[in-house]
Structure 1
Amino acid sequence: MHDIWNPWHGCVKCSEGCAHCYMYFLDRLREQDGRRIYKTKAGFRKPVQQDRKGRYKIQSGEMIRVCMTSDFFLEEADSWREEAWDMMRERSDVVFYLLTKRPERVERCLPRDWGTGWPNIFFNVTCENQRRADERIPILLELPFHHKGIMCAPFLGPVNIRPYLASGQIERVKCGGENYDGSRPCDFDWVKALRQECADYHVTFCFIETGTNFIKGGRLYRLPNKRVQSEMAYKSGVSFRGKPIHFDLRDAWGQPVPEEARYVPHFRERCQTCGSQIICNGCSDCGKCEKANQRG
Protein backbone atom coordinates (compact mmCIF):
# COMPACT_ATOMS: atom_id res chain seq x y z
CA MET A 1 0.00 0.00 0.00
CA HIS A 2 1.36 3.42 -0.93
CA ASP A 3 0.33 5.07 2.33
CA ILE A 4 2.49 2.87 4.60
CA TRP A 5 6.06 3.52 5.68
CA ASN A 6 7.77 0.72 7.60
CA PRO A 7 11.23 2.00 8.64
CA TRP A 8 11.67 -1.15 10.72
CA HIS A 9 9.98 -4.54 10.96
CA GLY A 10 9.29 -6.97 13.78
CA CYS A 11 7.92 -6.42 17.25
CA VAL A 12 7.64 -7.61 20.86
CA LYS A 13 4.16 -8.55 22.07
CA CYS A 14 3.06 -6.41 25.02
CA SER A 15 -0.71 -6.67 25.56
CA GLU A 16 -3.92 -8.59 24.84
CA GLY A 17 -4.25 -7.21 21.32
CA CYS A 18 -0.89 -8.72 20.40
CA ALA A 19 -1.89 -12.33 21.13
CA HIS A 20 -2.83 -13.12 17.52
CA CYS A 21 -0.81 -10.40 15.77
CA TYR A 22 -1.38 -10.25 12.01
CA MET A 23 2.28 -9.41 11.41
CA TYR A 24 3.43 -12.56 13.21
CA PHE A 25 0.92 -14.60 11.18
CA LEU A 26 1.99 -13.17 7.83
CA ASP A 27 5.67 -13.60 8.71
CA ARG A 28 5.05 -17.28 9.48
CA LEU A 29 3.54 -17.68 6.01
CA ARG A 30 6.83 -16.35 4.63
CA GLU A 31 8.79 -18.65 6.98
CA GLN A 32 10.02 -15.63 8.93
CA ASP A 33 9.97 -14.82 12.64
CA GLY A 34 8.00 -11.74 13.67
CA ARG A 35 10.13 -11.45 16.80
CA ARG A 36 13.17 -10.58 14.68
CA ILE A 37 13.44 -6.78 14.66
CA TYR A 38 15.42 -5.10 11.92
CA LYS A 39 15.78 -1.80 10.10
CA THR A 40 14.33 -2.06 6.61
CA LYS A 41 16.60 -1.44 3.65
CA ALA A 42 14.61 -0.38 0.59
CA GLY A 43 11.83 1.26 2.61
CA PHE A 44 13.66 3.10 5.37
CA ARG A 45 14.03 6.39 3.48
CA LYS A 46 10.64 6.27 1.76
CA PRO A 47 9.47 9.76 2.88
CA VAL A 48 12.41 11.48 1.16
CA GLN A 49 12.72 9.29 -1.92
CA GLN A 50 12.58 11.24 -5.19
CA ASP A 51 11.68 10.48 -8.79
CA ARG A 52 13.95 11.05 -11.79
CA LYS A 53 12.95 14.71 -11.92
CA GLY A 54 13.99 15.27 -8.32
CA ARG A 55 10.44 15.47 -6.98
CA TYR A 56 9.39 13.70 -3.81
CA LYS A 57 7.45 10.53 -4.57
CA ILE A 58 5.19 11.17 -1.57
CA GLN A 59 3.17 14.28 -2.37
CA SER A 60 2.40 17.24 -0.13
CA GLY A 61 -0.71 16.59 1.94
CA GLU A 62 -0.58 12.80 1.89
CA MET A 63 -1.12 10.91 5.16
CA ILE A 64 1.45 8.16 5.72
CA ARG A 65 0.90 5.41 8.28
CA VAL A 66 4.14 4.62 10.09
CA CYS A 67 5.36 1.24 11.40
CA MET A 68 2.38 -0.93 10.54
CA THR A 69 4.55 -4.03 11.03
CA SER A 70 6.15 -2.84 14.25
CA ASP A 71 5.76 -0.04 16.83
CA PHE A 72 7.41 3.33 16.28
CA PHE A 73 8.26 3.57 19.99
CA LEU A 74 9.64 0.07 20.32
CA GLU A 75 12.69 0.03 22.60
CA GLU A 76 14.67 -2.09 20.15
CA ALA A 77 14.32 0.70 17.55
CA ASP A 78 15.76 3.48 19.71
CA SER A 79 18.95 3.72 17.67
CA TRP A 80 17.04 4.24 14.39
CA ARG A 81 14.31 6.61 15.52
CA GLU A 82 16.26 9.86 15.37
CA GLU A 83 16.88 9.41 11.66
CA ALA A 84 13.17 8.69 11.17
CA TRP A 85 12.30 11.90 13.03
CA ASP A 86 14.73 13.77 10.77
CA MET A 87 12.79 12.66 7.70
CA MET A 88 9.46 13.65 9.26
CA ARG A 89 10.95 17.05 10.09
CA GLU A 90 12.13 17.43 6.49
CA ARG A 91 8.72 16.43 5.14
CA SER A 92 6.72 18.98 7.14
CA ASP A 93 4.32 19.01 4.17
CA VAL A 94 3.24 15.39 4.83
CA VAL A 95 1.06 14.01 7.65
CA PHE A 96 2.60 11.08 9.56
CA TYR A 97 0.17 8.79 11.39
CA LEU A 98 1.84 7.22 14.44
CA LEU A 99 0.18 4.37 16.34
CA THR A 100 1.58 2.80 19.51
CA LYS A 101 0.84 0.42 22.34
CA ARG A 102 3.70 2.01 24.28
CA PRO A 103 2.67 5.61 25.09
CA GLU A 104 4.62 5.43 28.37
CA ARG A 105 7.85 5.49 26.29
CA VAL A 106 6.90 8.38 24.03
CA GLU A 107 8.04 11.39 26.04
CA ARG A 108 11.60 10.11 26.33
CA CYS A 109 11.69 9.30 22.60
CA LEU A 110 10.75 12.74 21.23
CA PRO A 111 13.34 14.84 19.35
CA ARG A 112 15.04 17.71 21.15
CA ASP A 113 13.30 20.41 19.10
CA TRP A 114 9.83 18.94 19.67
CA GLY A 115 8.52 21.76 21.85
CA THR A 116 4.72 21.56 21.97
CA GLY A 117 4.72 19.17 19.02
CA TRP A 118 4.98 19.17 15.24
CA PRO A 119 1.72 19.96 13.43
CA ASN A 120 2.26 17.24 10.80
CA ILE A 121 2.23 14.35 13.31
CA PHE A 122 -1.03 12.51 14.07
CA PHE A 123 -0.45 10.49 17.25
CA ASN A 124 -2.68 7.51 18.13
CA VAL A 125 -2.82 4.82 20.79
CA THR A 126 -4.28 1.32 20.52
CA CYS A 127 -7.12 0.54 22.94
CA GLU A 128 -8.25 -3.03 22.31
CA ASN A 129 -10.26 -3.23 25.54
CA GLN A 130 -11.29 -1.08 28.50
CA ARG A 131 -8.19 -1.92 30.50
CA ARG A 132 -5.88 -0.60 27.81
CA ALA A 133 -8.09 2.42 27.14
CA ASP A 134 -7.89 3.45 30.79
CA GLU A 135 -4.15 2.80 30.82
CA ARG A 136 -3.14 4.49 27.58
CA ILE A 137 -5.58 7.33 26.86
CA PRO A 138 -4.70 9.34 30.01
CA ILE A 139 -1.06 9.26 28.86
CA LEU A 140 -2.13 10.26 25.34
CA LEU A 141 -3.97 13.29 26.72
CA GLU A 142 -0.89 14.45 28.63
CA LEU A 143 1.57 14.18 25.74
CA PRO A 144 2.48 17.23 23.59
CA PHE A 145 0.88 16.46 20.21
CA HIS A 146 -1.29 18.73 18.09
CA HIS A 147 -3.38 15.84 16.75
CA LYS A 148 -4.51 12.77 18.69
CA GLY A 149 -6.61 9.70 17.94
CA ILE A 150 -7.59 6.24 19.17
CA MET A 151 -7.50 2.84 17.46
CA CYS A 152 -9.75 0.12 18.91
CA ALA A 153 -8.40 -2.83 16.96
CA PRO A 154 -8.47 -5.67 17.35
CA PHE A 155 -11.72 -4.77 19.13
CA LEU A 156 -11.85 -7.32 21.95
CA GLY A 157 -14.58 -5.97 24.21
CA PRO A 158 -16.82 -2.97 24.88
CA VAL A 159 -14.87 0.24 25.42
CA ASN A 160 -16.22 3.43 26.99
CA ILE A 161 -14.16 6.46 25.99
CA ARG A 162 -16.78 9.14 26.66
CA PRO A 163 -14.81 10.75 29.55
CA TYR A 164 -11.76 11.05 27.30
CA LEU A 165 -13.70 12.45 24.33
CA ALA A 166 -14.96 15.18 26.67
CA SER A 167 -11.40 16.54 26.80
CA GLY A 168 -11.81 17.79 23.22
CA GLN A 169 -8.39 16.43 22.27
CA ILE A 170 -9.44 13.27 20.41
CA GLU A 171 -9.98 13.95 16.71
CA ARG A 172 -10.61 10.49 15.29
CA VAL A 173 -11.47 6.95 16.43
CA LYS A 174 -11.07 3.79 14.36
CA CYS A 175 -12.19 0.27 15.21
CA GLY A 176 -12.14 -3.14 13.60
CA GLY A 177 -12.26 -6.84 14.36
CA GLU A 178 -9.44 -9.37 14.51
CA ASN A 179 -8.11 -11.54 11.68
CA TYR A 180 -6.17 -14.70 10.94
CA ASP A 181 -5.16 -17.34 13.50
CA GLY A 182 -7.27 -17.48 16.66
CA SER A 183 -9.42 -14.48 15.75
CA ARG A 184 -11.53 -13.41 18.72
CA PRO A 185 -15.08 -12.19 17.98
CA CYS A 186 -16.07 -8.56 17.54
CA ASP A 187 -19.64 -7.71 18.59
CA PHE A 188 -21.57 -5.15 16.56
CA ASP A 189 -23.16 -3.84 19.76
CA TRP A 190 -19.71 -2.71 20.94
CA VAL A 191 -19.15 -0.94 17.62
CA LYS A 192 -22.49 0.89 17.72
CA ALA A 193 -21.96 2.04 21.30
CA LEU A 194 -18.50 3.41 20.49
CA ARG A 195 -19.86 5.13 17.41
CA GLN A 196 -22.57 6.86 19.43
CA GLU A 197 -20.03 8.23 21.88
CA CYS A 198 -18.02 9.69 19.00
CA ALA A 199 -21.09 11.13 17.30
CA ASP A 200 -22.12 12.83 20.56
CA TYR A 201 -18.80 14.69 20.52
CA HIS A 202 -18.66 15.20 16.72
CA VAL A 203 -15.52 13.06 16.48
CA THR A 204 -14.94 11.11 13.27
CA PHE A 205 -15.54 7.38 13.74
CA CYS A 206 -14.49 4.74 11.23
CA PHE A 207 -15.50 1.09 11.37
CA ILE A 208 -12.89 -0.39 9.04
CA GLU A 209 -13.69 -4.13 9.10
CA THR A 210 -15.74 -6.73 10.95
CA GLY A 211 -12.91 -9.17 11.60
CA THR A 212 -13.09 -12.88 10.83
CA ASN A 213 -15.62 -13.64 13.58
CA PHE A 214 -18.39 -11.07 13.86
CA ILE A 215 -21.40 -11.09 16.17
CA LYS A 216 -24.54 -9.28 15.06
CA GLY A 217 -27.94 -9.68 16.68
CA GLY A 218 -26.56 -12.44 18.88
CA ARG A 219 -25.51 -14.52 15.87
CA LEU A 220 -21.89 -15.34 15.04
CA TYR A 221 -20.83 -14.87 11.42
CA ARG A 222 -17.52 -16.14 10.02
CA LEU A 223 -16.05 -13.83 7.37
CA PRO A 224 -12.52 -14.96 6.43
CA ASN A 225 -12.34 -12.71 3.34
CA LYS A 226 -10.99 -9.27 4.33
CA ARG A 227 -12.61 -7.60 1.32
CA VAL A 228 -15.99 -8.88 2.48
CA GLN A 229 -15.24 -7.72 6.03
CA SER A 230 -14.56 -4.21 4.78
CA GLU A 231 -17.71 -4.18 2.65
CA MET A 232 -19.84 -5.36 5.57
CA ALA A 233 -18.38 -2.60 7.74
CA TYR A 234 -19.26 -0.06 5.06
CA LYS A 235 -22.78 -1.41 4.58
CA SER A 236 -23.43 -1.22 8.33
CA GLY A 237 -23.55 2.55 7.91
CA VAL A 238 -22.07 3.28 11.33
CA SER A 239 -19.01 5.24 10.22
CA PHE A 240 -19.41 8.92 11.04
CA ARG A 241 -17.73 12.07 9.71
CA GLY A 242 -17.12 14.44 12.58
CA LYS A 243 -15.34 17.76 12.72
CA PRO A 244 -12.70 18.05 9.98
CA ILE A 245 -9.06 17.81 11.03
CA HIS A 246 -6.83 20.60 9.75
CA PHE A 247 -3.12 19.94 9.57
CA ASP A 248 -0.85 23.00 9.40
CA LEU A 249 1.54 21.70 6.75
CA ARG A 250 4.60 23.65 5.69
CA ASP A 251 6.95 23.50 2.70
CA ALA A 252 10.76 23.41 2.85
CA TRP A 253 10.86 27.19 3.37
CA GLY A 254 8.38 27.12 6.23
CA GLN A 255 5.52 28.52 4.19
CA PRO A 256 1.99 27.09 4.55
CA VAL A 257 0.99 24.53 1.92
CA PRO A 258 -2.35 25.82 0.56
CA GLU A 259 -5.27 23.41 0.27
CA GLU A 260 -5.23 23.59 -3.52
CA ALA A 261 -1.61 22.40 -3.57
CA ARG A 262 -2.24 19.35 -1.39
CA TYR A 263 -2.73 15.78 -2.53
CA VAL A 264 -6.37 14.87 -3.15
CA PRO A 265 -7.17 11.14 -2.82
CA HIS A 266 -8.98 9.52 -5.72
CA PHE A 267 -10.85 6.24 -5.65
CA ARG A 268 -11.86 3.49 -8.03
CA GLU A 269 -15.25 1.82 -8.27
CA ARG A 270 -14.35 -1.01 -5.90
CA CYS A 271 -13.30 1.57 -3.29
CA GLN A 272 -16.82 2.92 -2.96
CA THR A 273 -17.87 0.11 -0.60
CA CYS A 274 -14.67 -0.04 1.47
CA GLY A 275 -14.99 0.55 5.20
CA SER A 276 -11.74 2.54 5.26
CA GLN A 277 -12.58 5.00 2.51
CA ILE A 278 -13.28 8.01 4.72
CA ILE A 279 -9.76 7.80 6.19
CA CYS A 280 -7.92 6.38 3.17
CA ASN A 281 -5.05 7.91 1.21
CA GLY A 282 -6.75 6.82 -2.00
CA CYS A 283 -5.71 4.70 -4.96
CA SER A 284 -2.01 4.44 -5.80
CA ASP A 285 -2.68 3.45 -9.44
CA CYS A 286 -0.53 0.37 -8.98
CA GLY A 287 -2.42 -1.58 -11.65
CA LYS A 288 -3.31 -4.55 -9.43
CA CYS A 289 -7.07 -3.99 -9.89
CA GLU A 290 -6.75 -4.29 -13.68
CA LYS A 291 -4.72 -7.50 -13.35
CA ALA A 292 -7.30 -8.94 -10.96
CA ASN A 293 -10.10 -8.11 -13.37
CA GLN A 294 -8.21 -9.75 -16.22
CA ARG A 295 -7.77 -12.93 -14.17
CA GLY A 296 -11.45 -12.85 -13.18
Structure 2
Amino acid sequence: MADGSAIEWTDATWNPVTGCTKITAGCDNCYAERFSERWRGIPGHPFEHGFDLTLRPERLAQPLAWKRPRMIFVNSMSDLFHKKVPGTFIDQVFDTMEQADWHVFQVLTKRSSLMRDYLNRRYRDRTPPAHIWLGVSVEDANSSARIEHLRQAPAGVRFLSVEPLIGAVGQVDLTGIHWVIAGGESGPGARPMAIEWAREIRDQCAAQNVAFFFKQWGGIRPKSGGRELDGREWNELPASLPSRAAA
Protein backbone atom coordinates (compact mmCIF):
# COMPACT_ATOMS: atom_id res chain seq x y z
CA MET A 1 0.00 0.00 0.00
CA ALA A 2 1.30 3.44 -0.86
CA ASP A 3 0.29 6.38 1.32
CA GLY A 4 0.36 9.06 -1.32
CA SER A 5 0.00 8.63 -5.05
CA ALA A 6 1.03 10.41 -8.21
CA ILE A 7 -2.42 9.58 -9.60
CA GLU A 8 -4.30 12.87 -9.43
CA TRP A 9 -7.73 11.42 -8.60
CA THR A 10 -6.78 9.33 -5.57
CA ASP A 11 -4.82 9.58 -2.31
CA ALA A 12 -3.32 6.12 -1.93
CA THR A 13 -3.10 2.71 -3.58
CA TRP A 14 -3.76 -0.78 -2.21
CA ASN A 15 -2.72 -3.89 -4.12
CA PRO A 16 -3.98 -7.16 -2.60
CA VAL A 17 -3.47 -8.56 -6.13
CA THR A 18 -0.68 -7.74 -8.57
CA GLY A 19 -0.14 -8.79 -12.17
CA CYS A 20 -2.56 -9.09 -15.06
CA THR A 21 -2.93 -10.04 -18.73
CA LYS A 22 -3.71 -7.83 -21.70
CA ILE A 23 -7.19 -7.97 -23.22
CA THR A 24 -7.68 -4.78 -25.28
CA ALA A 25 -5.72 -2.16 -27.19
CA GLY A 26 -5.80 0.04 -24.10
CA CYS A 27 -3.50 -2.49 -22.41
CA ASP A 28 -0.76 -2.32 -25.06
CA ASN A 29 1.55 0.04 -23.16
CA CYS A 30 0.54 -0.95 -19.62
CA TYR A 31 2.52 1.06 -17.07
CA ALA A 32 2.01 -1.60 -14.36
CA GLU A 33 3.52 -4.30 -16.56
CA ARG A 34 6.44 -2.06 -17.53
CA PHE A 35 7.20 -1.32 -13.88
CA SER A 36 6.77 -4.91 -12.64
CA GLU A 37 8.88 -6.58 -15.30
CA ARG A 38 11.90 -4.49 -14.35
CA TRP A 39 12.25 -6.61 -11.22
CA ARG A 40 11.54 -10.08 -12.60
CA GLY A 41 14.00 -12.65 -11.36
CA ILE A 42 15.35 -10.60 -8.46
CA PRO A 43 15.00 -12.90 -5.40
CA GLY A 44 12.99 -11.42 -2.55
CA HIS A 45 11.69 -8.43 -4.50
CA PRO A 46 7.90 -7.90 -4.34
CA PHE A 47 7.87 -8.24 -8.15
CA GLU A 48 10.25 -11.18 -8.33
CA HIS A 49 7.71 -12.83 -10.64
CA GLY A 50 7.22 -9.74 -12.77
CA PHE A 51 3.68 -9.14 -13.91
CA ASP A 52 2.44 -12.69 -13.32
CA LEU A 53 -0.88 -12.58 -11.48
CA THR A 54 -0.16 -12.94 -7.77
CA LEU A 55 -2.52 -12.98 -4.78
CA ARG A 56 -1.12 -11.15 -1.75
CA PRO A 57 -3.21 -12.19 1.26
CA GLU A 58 -0.74 -10.55 3.65
CA ARG A 59 -1.99 -7.19 2.36
CA LEU A 60 -5.71 -7.81 2.88
CA ALA A 61 -5.94 -5.98 6.21
CA GLN A 62 -3.75 -2.99 5.31
CA PRO A 63 -6.55 -0.37 4.96
CA LEU A 64 -7.80 -1.20 8.46
CA ALA A 65 -4.55 0.18 9.90
CA TRP A 66 -4.99 3.53 8.15
CA LYS A 67 -7.07 5.64 10.51
CA ARG A 68 -7.03 8.89 8.53
CA PRO A 69 -9.69 8.74 5.78
CA ARG A 70 -8.30 8.41 2.26
CA MET A 71 -9.49 7.77 -1.27
CA ILE A 72 -7.84 4.46 -2.11
CA PHE A 73 -7.35 3.09 -5.62
CA VAL A 74 -7.71 -0.68 -5.34
CA ASN A 75 -5.35 -2.80 -7.45
CA SER A 76 -3.53 -0.10 -9.37
CA MET A 77 -1.17 -2.92 -10.39
CA SER A 78 -3.78 -5.49 -11.40
CA ASP A 79 -7.49 -6.13 -12.05
CA LEU A 80 -9.49 -7.50 -9.13
CA PHE A 81 -11.92 -9.20 -11.51
CA HIS A 82 -9.32 -11.08 -13.52
CA LYS A 83 -10.69 -14.58 -14.20
CA LYS A 84 -7.80 -16.14 -12.25
CA VAL A 85 -8.65 -14.29 -9.02
CA PRO A 86 -10.80 -16.70 -6.94
CA GLY A 87 -14.21 -15.46 -5.87
CA THR A 88 -13.34 -16.25 -2.27
CA PHE A 89 -10.39 -13.85 -2.47
CA ILE A 90 -12.56 -11.11 -4.00
CA ASP A 91 -14.93 -11.69 -1.07
CA GLN A 92 -12.08 -11.01 1.35
CA VAL A 93 -11.16 -7.79 -0.44
CA PHE A 94 -14.76 -6.59 -0.26
CA ASP A 95 -15.01 -7.65 3.40
CA THR A 96 -12.07 -5.37 4.19
CA MET A 97 -13.51 -2.48 2.18
CA GLU A 98 -16.89 -2.79 3.87
CA GLN A 99 -15.27 -2.85 7.30
CA ALA A 100 -12.98 0.15 6.59
CA ASP A 101 -15.91 2.45 5.88
CA TRP A 102 -14.05 5.65 6.78
CA HIS A 103 -12.17 5.36 3.47
CA VAL A 104 -13.43 5.68 -0.10
CA PHE A 105 -12.37 2.72 -2.23
CA GLN A 106 -12.08 3.08 -6.01
CA VAL A 107 -12.22 -0.26 -7.84
CA LEU A 108 -11.52 -0.14 -11.58
CA THR A 109 -11.77 -3.01 -14.07
CA LYS A 110 -11.76 -3.93 -17.73
CA ARG A 111 -13.56 -7.21 -16.91
CA SER A 112 -16.88 -5.41 -16.63
CA SER A 113 -19.25 -8.35 -17.04
CA LEU A 114 -17.44 -10.33 -14.32
CA MET A 115 -17.65 -7.35 -11.99
CA ARG A 116 -21.36 -6.88 -12.72
CA ASP A 117 -22.12 -10.52 -12.03
CA TYR A 118 -20.14 -10.53 -8.79
CA LEU A 119 -21.80 -7.38 -7.46
CA ASN A 120 -25.27 -8.62 -8.30
CA ARG A 121 -24.58 -11.76 -6.26
CA ARG A 122 -22.97 -9.96 -3.32
CA TYR A 123 -25.58 -7.21 -3.01
CA ARG A 124 -28.63 -9.16 -4.07
CA ASP A 125 -30.41 -8.55 -0.75
CA ARG A 126 -28.76 -5.36 0.53
CA THR A 127 -27.75 -1.89 -0.53
CA PRO A 128 -24.18 -1.54 -1.82
CA PRO A 129 -21.99 0.63 0.43
CA ALA A 130 -21.73 4.24 -0.71
CA HIS A 131 -17.99 4.39 0.08
CA ILE A 132 -17.10 1.65 -2.46
CA TRP A 133 -16.94 3.14 -5.94
CA LEU A 134 -16.95 0.86 -8.96
CA GLY A 135 -15.57 1.84 -12.34
CA VAL A 136 -14.71 0.53 -15.79
CA SER A 137 -12.01 1.51 -18.26
CA VAL A 138 -13.14 2.87 -21.63
CA GLU A 139 -10.40 3.74 -24.11
CA ASP A 140 -12.37 4.15 -27.35
CA ALA A 141 -15.72 3.33 -28.96
CA ASN A 142 -14.86 -0.38 -29.12
CA SER A 143 -14.87 -0.64 -25.33
CA SER A 144 -17.99 1.42 -24.60
CA ALA A 145 -20.08 -1.74 -23.98
CA ARG A 146 -18.48 -1.82 -20.53
CA ILE A 147 -20.58 1.21 -19.60
CA GLU A 148 -23.77 -0.82 -19.88
CA HIS A 149 -22.27 -3.60 -17.74
CA LEU A 150 -21.40 -1.00 -15.10
CA ARG A 151 -24.90 0.45 -15.23
CA GLN A 152 -26.28 -3.04 -14.51
CA ALA A 153 -24.14 -3.37 -11.38
CA PRO A 154 -25.28 -2.26 -7.90
CA ALA A 155 -22.86 0.42 -6.70
CA GLY A 156 -22.95 3.53 -4.55
CA VAL A 157 -20.88 5.44 -7.13
CA ARG A 158 -20.20 4.36 -10.71
CA PHE A 159 -17.32 5.90 -12.64
CA LEU A 160 -15.53 5.67 -15.97
CA SER A 161 -11.79 5.90 -16.51
CA VAL A 162 -11.50 7.04 -20.13
CA GLU A 163 -7.76 6.52 -20.13
CA PRO A 164 -5.65 6.01 -22.07
CA LEU A 165 -7.98 7.71 -24.52
CA ILE A 166 -6.73 6.28 -27.84
CA GLY A 167 -9.76 7.01 -30.01
CA ALA A 168 -13.07 8.82 -30.07
CA VAL A 169 -15.61 7.30 -27.69
CA GLY A 170 -18.57 8.76 -29.54
CA GLN A 171 -21.96 9.57 -28.07
CA VAL A 172 -22.59 7.65 -24.85
CA ASP A 173 -25.48 7.36 -22.42
CA LEU A 174 -24.19 8.36 -18.98
CA THR A 175 -27.39 7.54 -17.12
CA GLY A 176 -26.44 6.08 -13.75
CA ILE A 177 -22.79 7.18 -14.08
CA HIS A 178 -21.57 9.65 -11.46
CA TRP A 179 -18.03 10.48 -12.51
CA VAL A 180 -15.83 10.39 -15.62
CA ILE A 181 -12.03 10.60 -15.62
CA ALA A 182 -10.33 11.25 -18.96
CA GLY A 183 -6.67 11.34 -19.93
CA GLY A 184 -4.02 10.55 -22.48
CA GLU A 185 -1.41 7.81 -22.46
CA SER A 186 2.04 8.30 -20.96
CA GLY A 187 5.32 6.42 -21.15
CA PRO A 188 7.39 4.96 -23.98
CA GLY A 189 5.37 4.66 -27.18
CA ALA A 190 2.53 6.80 -25.84
CA ARG A 191 -0.22 7.23 -28.40
CA PRO A 192 -1.39 10.86 -28.87
CA MET A 193 -4.83 11.99 -27.78
CA ALA A 194 -6.80 14.37 -30.01
CA ILE A 195 -8.30 17.38 -28.28
CA GLU A 196 -11.63 16.67 -29.98
CA TRP A 197 -11.90 13.33 -28.16
CA ALA A 198 -11.41 14.97 -24.77
CA ARG A 199 -13.80 17.81 -25.54
CA GLU A 200 -16.46 15.37 -26.70
CA ILE A 201 -16.38 13.56 -23.36
CA ARG A 202 -16.29 16.75 -21.30
CA ASP A 203 -19.23 18.23 -23.16
CA GLN A 204 -21.29 15.08 -22.76
CA CYS A 205 -20.59 15.11 -19.02
CA ALA A 206 -21.75 18.72 -18.81
CA ALA A 207 -24.90 18.00 -20.80
CA GLN A 208 -25.76 14.94 -18.69
CA ASN A 209 -24.78 16.44 -15.31
CA VAL A 210 -21.88 14.08 -14.63
CA ALA A 211 -18.71 15.14 -12.78
CA PHE A 212 -15.69 15.40 -15.11
CA PHE A 213 -12.02 15.05 -14.15
CA PHE A 214 -9.29 15.65 -16.72
CA LYS A 215 -6.19 13.83 -15.57
CA GLN A 216 -3.49 14.57 -18.15
CA TRP A 217 -2.56 14.95 -21.81
CA GLY A 218 0.13 12.29 -21.49
CA GLY A 219 3.37 11.93 -23.38
CA ILE A 220 6.69 10.34 -22.57
CA ARG A 221 6.09 11.30 -18.91
CA PRO A 222 2.69 11.65 -17.17
CA LYS A 223 3.21 15.39 -16.66
CA SER A 224 4.61 16.07 -20.13
CA GLY A 225 1.53 17.74 -21.54
CA GLY A 226 0.09 19.21 -18.37
CA ARG A 227 -3.51 18.94 -17.18
CA GLU A 228 -5.31 21.90 -18.73
CA LEU A 229 -8.11 21.44 -21.23
CA ASP A 230 -9.22 24.63 -22.97
CA GLY A 231 -7.32 26.82 -20.53
CA ARG A 232 -8.36 25.31 -17.20
CA GLU A 233 -8.08 22.23 -15.00
CA TRP A 234 -11.13 20.03 -14.57
CA ASN A 235 -11.16 18.49 -11.08
CA GLU A 236 -14.79 17.62 -10.47
CA LEU A 237 -15.68 14.74 -8.15
CA PRO A 238 -18.98 12.94 -7.56
CA ALA A 239 -21.56 14.97 -5.65
CA SER A 240 -20.82 13.05 -2.44
CA LEU A 241 -17.40 14.73 -2.28
CA PRO A 242 -16.32 18.34 -2.89
CA SER A 243 -14.23 19.13 -5.96
CA ARG A 244 -10.51 19.45 -5.49
CA ALA A 245 -9.02 22.87 -6.05
CA ALA A 246 -9.76 23.88 -9.62
CA ALA A 247 -8.31 26.61 -11.76
TM-score (norm 2): 0.81
C-alpha distance in 2, partners of 1:35/1:228? 26
Deviation at 1:24, TM superposition (A): 1.1
Q: Which residue is 2:82 aligned to?
A: 74
Establish whether residue 39 from structure 1 lines up as the match of residue 55 from structure 2. yes
Letter in 2 for 1:17: G
AA matched with 1:173: V
Q: Give the counterpart of 1:149 among 150, 159, 173.
A: 159
Query: Following superposition, which runs of at least 4 residues in structure 1 exceed 6 angstroms of deviation?
Result: none
Query: Is the counterpart of residue 225 in structure 1 residue 221 in structure 2?
Result: yes
Relative to 1, partners in 2 of residues 1:77 and 1:121: Cα closer, same or farther, differing over 3 Å?
Answer: same
Greater RCO, CA 8 A, separation 6+: 1
Q: Which of residues 121, 126, 141 is equivalent to 1:130? A: 141
The one-letter amino acid paired with 1:104 is S
- Looking at structure 2, the residues matched to 211 and 26 of structure 1 have their Cα atoms a distance apart, in angstroms, of 17
Distance change >3 Å, CA 175–CA 33, structure 1 → 2:
farther
Among residues 26, 30, 40, which one is paired with 1:21 in the alignment? Answer: 30
Between the two proteins, the alignment pairs up a number of residues equal to: 227
The answer to whether the aligner puts 1:180 opposite 2:187 as a matched pair is yes
User: Do the aligned partners of residues 202 and 187 (structure 1) sit closer, same or farther apart at CA in structure 2, a change above 3 Å counting?
Assistant: same
Alpha-carbon separation, structure 1, partners of 2:28 and 2:237: 34
In 2 relative to 1, CA 181–225 (structure 1 residues): closer, same or farther, beyond 3 Å? closer
Does the aligned pair in 1 maintain the 2:18–2:51 contact within 8 Å?
Answer: no
Does the 8 A contact of 1:202 with 1:243 survive in 2?
A: no
- Structure with more helix by fraction: 1
Deviation at 1:206, TM superposition (A): 1.4
Within a 5 Å distance, the mapping from 1:159-170 to structure 2 comes to 159-162=169-172, 164-165=173-174, 167=175, 169-170=176-177
- What CA deviation, in whole Å up to 9, does each residue of 1:156-209 have, x standing for no partner? 1111244x12x2x11111111112232211112211121111122232211111
Residues 157 and 47 of structure 1: CA distance in aligned 2, closer, same or farther (over 3 Å): same
Task: Find the aligned partners of 1:243 and 1:82 in 2 and give their Cα distance.
Answer: 27
Deviation at 1:42, TM superposition (A): 5.7
CA distance in structure 1 between the partners assigned to 2:236 and 2:67 by the alignment: 27
Is 2:72–2:104's contact at 8 Å kept on the other side of the alignment? yes
SS in 2 for 1:155: coil
Q: CA deviation at 1:30?
A: 2.6
How far 1:113 moved relative to its partner?
5.1
Residues in 2 aligned to 1:236 and 1:89: alpha-carbon distance in whole angstroms: 39
CA offset at residue 225 of structure 1? Answer: 3.0
Q: Match for 2:217: what amino acid?
A: T
CA RMSD of aligned residues (A): 2.6
Separation in 1 of the partners of 2:238 and 2:28?
34
Query: Any conservation in 1 of the 2:205–2:211 contact (CA below 8 Å)?
Result: yes
Aligned sequence identity (%)? 26
Give the match for residue 6 of structure 2.
none
SS in 2 for 1:27: helix
Instruction: Report what 2:240 is aligned to.
Output: 246
Mapped partners of 1:15, 1:121: distance in 2? 26
Question: Residue by residue, what CA displacement relative to the aligned partner does 1:62-106 show, whole Å, maximum 9, x if unpaired?
Answer: 211101100111122224211111111111222111111011102
Question: AA paired with 1:246?
Answer: S
Q: Which residue of 1 aligns with 2:196?
A: 189
- Which whole-Å deviations, capped at 9, do the CAs of 1:234-275 have from their partners, x for residues lacking one? 37445446685227xxxxxxxxxxxxxxxx99xxxxxxxxxx
